[in-house]
Amino acid sequence: MRLTPGPARDVDLECLDLFDLDLYSYGDPHPVWDVMRDKAPLHHQVLPDGREFWSVTRYEDVCRVLGDHREFTSERGTTPTHVGIDDPAAGVLLTSTDPPRHTEVRRPIGTKLTARAVKSWEDSIRRTIQRFLEPALEGETFDLAEKALLLPAMVTGPLLGIPEKDWEELVQLTAMVTAPSDPHFKTGSEAATLAIAHHELVTYVKEWVRTRRASGAEDDSLLHHLMSVRPGGAPLSDEEIALDGYSILLGANVTTPHTVSGTVQALIERPEQFEKAQADPSLVPNLVEEGLRWTSAACNFMRYAVDDVQIGGGTIPARGAVVAWIGSANRDASQFPDPHEFDITRAGAKRHVAFGFGPHFCIGGPLARMTLRIFFEELLQRFGSIELDGEPQHLRSYFIAGMTHLPIVAQKRKTP
C-alpha cells in the first residue's frame, strides 16, 4: 500500500471492501481510512461468504479494542485472516490468550526481551547490520525490500537459537503466513499456503525442542528459554512451546523488514529529511519512531466483543469480530497533527501504536527499536545518497503493510 497517500477522494462506505487485496497491492488505503475516521468510526462489513466484521479506525478506539481484554477478547483469534473462524490455537498460543493466563506466560518470556536485556546484543547486531548494508554500497541495484526480508533472521537467529542454514526457509514460511495471497509466497490456494506455513513452522519448533531435549544441551537462546520457564509454577506444554515459538518467529520476521523499507523510501522521497538526520544523528531514535508510525507494518489486529459494546458511535454485538486498524490510528490527526507528513522531528511520534497497545504490546518491541536505531545509524553514517532505481512493489496483504521490492542505488558517504 502507498504510505504517502494520493489526493483525498470520495469513498462509498456502503460498498467498501476492506479485504480487497488490490487495495493494498496497487491502491491507496489512507484516503479510505481518513473518510472512515471522519464519517464512520465504527464500520460494518459483510464478506461475500457471509462472515462479518466491524472496524474501528480512530486512535482512541483502536487503543480501547486492543487494550481492554474484558470487553474485547483475544481468545478466539487475533488475525483478520481468520475472521469469523475460531482460532484452533486459541487459549494455547500466547497471542490468543487473555489475562490472567496471558500475564503469567508472558512475564517470564518478556524478561529476556526488555530494553535492558537486549542491550547486551547491541554490538553483535551492529556487526550484522554492517554486513547486511555492505553489498548496497557496491554501486549495483540493491533490492532493499527483498533483502530486508532476511534481516530479522540475521539479527534474531543467534538470539533465538536458529542456525543460519534454516533462516531462508523460515523467512519464506513466515512470509507465507502474513501474505498467503501474494504471488511471491502463494502455494496453491490461500488456505493451503497458510496451512503449509503454519504446519512447517510449528513442526520446526517441535523438532528443535525434541533435538534439544535428546541432546540435553543448554544455551542462552530464547527458544531454550521457552523450554525452561515455569509460568504459574508449571512448565509450558510442548504444544505451547511449539505455538509460542512459532509466534515469536513470526513476530520477529514479518514486520521489521517493512518498517526498514518503508522508512528508507520515505527518506528517499524527502531528501531534506535525510540530510537533517545525517547532520544530527541524535535524531535517529525519533526517526525510528516516526518510521514505525509511518509504516505501521502490522496493519491491524482483531478481537471479539465479549458482550454488546458501544464504541465509535455504534454498537458491536456480543461475539462480533472487530478489526482495529493500526495503520489508520497512526494517521489520526487528533494525535498526530498533519498525519500524512513524514517528519523525523515530530513531537509525540512515540505515541504510535505500531507495536500494538495494552497487554499484547509487541514483546519484541525493545529489540525491534534497537535494531532499527542501529540500522539507521549505520545507514546514515555510510550512505551519502540513496535513489530509487525502479518501481516499488507492495505486499498483497491486508494484514501486513509492506513491500516486496524496493530497488535502490546508493552512494558511499564521502565525509562521515
Partner 1 sequence: MESESQAAPAGAPESLVREISALWGEYLNGREVGADDDFFELGGNSLIGIKIIDRVSQDYGVALSVRDFYLAQTPLRVAELIEQGRAQP
* Contact of 198 with 89, CB cutoff 8 Å: no
Q: How far is 327 from 30, CA to CA, in rounded Å?
A: 8
- The least distance separating partner 1 from the CB of residue 49, rounded to whole angstroms, comes to 11
| Peptide bond connecting 100 to the previous residue in cis, omega within 30 degrees of 0 | yes
Cβ closest to partner 1, residue 107 vs residue 210: 210
Cβ closest to partner 1, residue 114 vs residue 189: 189
Cβ closest to partner 1, residue 187 vs residue 315: 187
Q: Shortest CA distance to 132 belongs to which of 375, 326, 330?
A: 375
- The least distance separating partner 1 from the CB of residue 11, rounded to whole angstroms, comes to 33
Contact residues for partner 1, defined by CB under 8 A? 88-89, 187-189, 191-192, 194-196, 198-200, 202-203
- The least distance separating partner 1 from the CB of residue 399, rounded to whole angstroms, comes to 17
Cβ closest to partner 1, residue 144 vs residue 243: 243
Residue 43 CA, distance from chain mean position: 23
Cβ closest to partner 1, residue 184 vs residue 373: 184
> Phi and psi (nearest 5°) for 206?
-60, -45
If you search the block for the grid coordinates 513476530, which residue do you land on? 251
Q: How far is 170 from 214, CA to CA, in rounded Å?
A: 23
Cβ closest to partner 1, residue 202 vs residue 277: 202
- The least distance separating partner 1 from the CB of residue 208, rounded to whole angstroms, comes to 15
- The least distance separating partner 1 from the CB of residue 191, rounded to whole angstroms, comes to 4
Cβ closest to partner 1, residue 187 vs residue 385: 187
- The least distance separating partner 1 from the CB of residue 169, rounded to whole angstroms, comes to 12
Strands 321-325 and 52-56, sheet pairing = parallel
- The least distance separating partner 1 from the CB of residue 194, rounded to whole angstroms, comes to 8
Cβ closest to partner 1, residue 111 vs residue 237: 237
Cβ closest to partner 1, residue 195 vs residue 306: 195
- The least distance separating partner 1 from the CB of residue 28, rounded to whole angstroms, comes to 32
Cβ closest to partner 1, residue 13 vs residue 191: 191
- The least distance separating partner 1 from the CB of residue 79, rounded to whole angstroms, comes to 13
Cβ closest to partner 1, residue 10 vs residue 49: 49
How far does the chain reach from its first CA to its final CA, in angstroms?
A: 34
Distances (CA, A) of 362 to 33, 65, 301, 329: 23, 15, 12, 16
- The least distance separating partner 1 from the CB of residue 184, rounded to whole angstroms, comes to 16
- The least distance separating partner 1 from the CB of residue 173, rounded to whole angstroms, comes to 10
